[in-house]
Amino acid sequence: MSRTFKLSVIAAAVMAVAPAAQAFEGGDFILRAGAVHVAPDDSSDVIKVGGAPIFGADARVSVDTNTQLGIRATYMFTSNLGVGVLGATPFKHNINGAGDLYGAGKLGETKHLPPTLTLQYFPMHSSSALQPFVGVGVNYTTFFETKTTSTLDGAVAATVPLAGATTELELDDSVGVAFEAGIDYMLSENFGLNAAIWWADINTDATVKVYDGAGNFVTNADTFEVEIDPMVYMVGFTYKF
């Protein structure tokens, strides 16, 4: 038996008994960063004052899309179960007219942060470079830097009527269920690519405050519900340590 053949047999035997490189296993921390796109599946109640529509029988609002930097973190309890957190730089959305207000343009804007906590399940063996997962959990969305525009001010001034009227918008924070599905593909022991999708139940109660030309409070429009319920998409990079 040649020396080369003996070495080949020994090398094959070592490879056969050596453990496969672990993709994800208990105790791992996984960080993911990339672009996150929020696409609301939005609807809203009709805007009213004293129970009566003020801009039309079907005057509503809509919320546009936005893309930001997303950061996700997962801690693996086992090779199949982990807990994940989704965060991002603040999303900024324009609030536009819909229904009878369609075409009115931008009525306001808001920023929000939607931290989401999920329990994640990874069905593949830890040695697999391809790691799909699903998750379910809770989303908390907080709104801030909410503003209205001169377009809404002018509509209120003409409809109430109230010369020189100005407005403010308040949006309540939201808590709701969230679902996710995603996949990681590990290019090396520590580095890989990822993609994920979420659906989150995000509803907020909106209140429009009306002020006269001197800045004195006059009235509130009736609180109306805005359902945002977005699909959230992310692609980026994975780092495990």
188 domain residue, yes or no:
yes
What is the extent of the structural domain holding 187? 24-240
7 domain residue, yes or no:
no
Task: Give how many domains the chain has, as a whole number.
Answer: 1
4 domain residue, yes or no:
no
65 domain residue, yes or no:
yes
Q: Tell which residue, 40, 237, 59, 70, has the closest CA to residue 155.
A: 59
Q: What is the pLDDT of residues 117-155, one digit of tens each?
A: 999 999 999 889 999 999 999 999 999 999 999 999 988
Q: What is the pLDDT of residues 180-217, one digit of tens each?
A: 999 999 999 999 999 999 999 999 999 999 999 888 99
- Residue 206 · residue 168 · CB < 8 Å: no
Whole-prediction pTM: 0.84
CATH label of the domain that carries residue 78 = 2.40.160.20
Q: What is the pLDDT of residues 12-65, one digit of tens each?
A: 443 333 344 457 899 999 999 999 999 999 999 998 887 888 888 999 999 999
178 domain residue, yes or no:
yes
β 59-63/106-113 pair status:
unpaired
State whether residue 87 is helix, strand or coil: strand
177 domain residue, yes or no:
yes
- Looking at residue 22, its pLDDT comes to 57
3 domain residue, yes or no:
no
The CA-based angle 217-111-52, given to 5 degrees, is: 40
